[in-house]
Amino acid sequence: MARIIGLDPGLQTTGYGILDVTDAGPRVCEAGVIRSAAGRDPADMARRVKVLYDGLVEVLDQWKPTIMVVEQLYAHYDHPRTAILMAHARGCFFLAGAQKGIDVLSYPSTRVKKTITGHGRAGKEQIQAAITRELGLARAPEPHDVSDALAIALCHYYTTAKTITTGSRSVTFTGVNRSALFGDEENSPQINTDEDGSEEE
């Protein structure tokens, strides 16, 4: 049975969500956050990265996922330092996955949002609501890092599932709650990928 771990990477707080792929659809195994040491000097980068790395390795050893999915790094020209800091966290997660023999994939945030909610620029509350509904959770995952991580894992689940064609559109779906997820034809997601991997909206 396939087991997906989704990661919403952050240097201070990283969300993770683990889904089992079953005949009845995706099932949540575990979800939570990995935090770098509280109160640690931001300049102490090596120790912060080690705390995140050790935390993820512990999760991987306990739950033994077969695939890891990480949100793709997005660099905004107004905040280049943020992207650099995020790269430190992503790097240690990729290393942990490689050392455990786990395939690691990345999805752009716009693709995750479009697949889960039907809108590439959906807000965190929309993602949270969609995840709660589609995974049959009793309450919304908190904090947002957790719901974002589950969204990344669920995006991979839908992307690698069988393809259902409706009219001229082709969407990826396996049957959790199609009408609630995609709504009508107008709001169903269109995920177009250029040769360089960029997203079209």
Catalytic residue positions, numbered: 8, 71, 145
8 belongs to an annotated ligand binding site: yes
54 belongs to an annotated ligand binding site: no
78 belongs to an annotated ligand binding site: no
Expressed in angstroms, the distance from the first to the final Cα of the chain is 34
- Measured CA to CA in angstroms, residue 169 lies from 164, 165, 172, 176, 179 at distances of 9, 6, 10, 19, 15
Annotated binding site: 8, 71, 145
Annotated binding site for Mg(2+): 8, 71, 145
